[in-house]
Chain A
Amino acid sequence: MTFKEKVVPTIRVADCLLVPIQIDLDDKTVEQLQAQLLAEIQEQRVRAVILDVRMVEVIDSYISYTLSETAAMARLMGCRTVICGIRPPVALTLAQMGIELQGFLVARDLEHALALVWSP
């Protein structure tokens, strides 16, 4: 996958794909992100994807649904998905809507995320 095709630039750390989402997600970009990640999981043969959402200010039902869907697809490809850095207001909003981020391991920060990925 060429750099131009990526919605979010990714970093490979050991056998993980680190995805720092630095843009505000909307319907189109989250769909593009899904396609991008699936392609990268296959290309780079990583065993975990770490989504860092520290910069994301709004996660609504569709975005969270598409992300959960991506996690489920990644799992079918033998890849774990960790989400980290959810902002406190976003966490409260998701919780109040009753949205669970299914299929994700939830981490406090990158260090915790890597520990979750490498734990047996």
Chain B
Amino acid sequence: MARKAKELLDIPADDFEMVVRIVREEDIAVARQMAKQLAQGLGFSLADVTKVATAVSELARNIYRYAQTGKIMIRKRLEENGGPTIQVVAVDRGPGIEDVDLVLTRGYTTYERSLGIGLSGIRRLMDFFEVVSEVGTGTAVVVEKRRRKF
């Protein structure tokens, strides 16, 4: 687990088409816009474009709120027989999450002004979801959404 967290944190940004550094609050909107454009370009349905943009918005906010700074990296992947897929990796070197399973329970939040369904909401919106976190090292969230057949 710890090894994987480090590996994901050191993932080279060059492998991604879009990289947004989250430093200021406005960067959340920038990341959201970028994800939207990529999903639109790949021919995702309007609803799925919105879902990807919303998930990225949540990821960027989590970075800004809990770690202050971090990165959102987005790339497309071409699956053998599943059509194009968007992958979003959100990494930060913030405090890390002590109990990932607890955070994924609906309603849990460490930030009082949030609905607390951030991470679990993202998981519901995407086809693939993984959180790797280590206290003191940081957090990496990997999510994917593939283009639907219809």
Which A residues fall within an 8 A CB radius of B?
24, 26-28, 57-62, 64-66, 87-90, 92-93, 96-99
Contact = CB atoms under 8 A, between A and B. Distances in A.
Given A66-B113, A89-B49, A90-B50, 18 more contacts: A57-B50, A58-B32, A58-B36, A58-B53, A58-B57, A60-B58, A61-B114, A61-B115, A62-B118, A65-B115, A89-B50, A92-B50, A96-B124, A96-B125, A97-B54, A97-B124, A98-B124, A99-B121
A97 B25 contact: no
B47 interface: yes
B46 to A, nearest CB: 5
Contact of B114 (A58, A62, A90, A93): A62
A58 B47 CA distance: 11
Interface in B101-135: 106, 113-115, 117-118, 120-121, 124-125
Q: Binding site of B, secondary structure by majority: helix, strand, loop or mixed?
A: helix
23 contacts: A24-B29, A26-B26, A28-B25, A57-B50, A58-B32, A58-B36, A58-B50, A58-B53, A60-B61, A60-B121, A61-B118, A62-B58, A62-B61, A62-B113, A62-B118, A65-B114, A88-B46, A89-B50, A93-B54, A93-B125, A96-B51, A97-B124, A98-B124
B28 interface: yes
A97 B121 contact: yes
Contacts of B118: 61-62
A61 B58 CA distance: 7
A115 to B, nearest CB: 28
Contacts of A92: 47, 50-51
Contact size range, B: 20 to 34
A88 B45 CA distance: 12
A89 B114 contact: no
A34 to B, nearest CB: 11
Interface in B32-88: 32, 36, 46-47, 49-51, 53-54, 57-58, 61
A98 B26 CA distance: 26
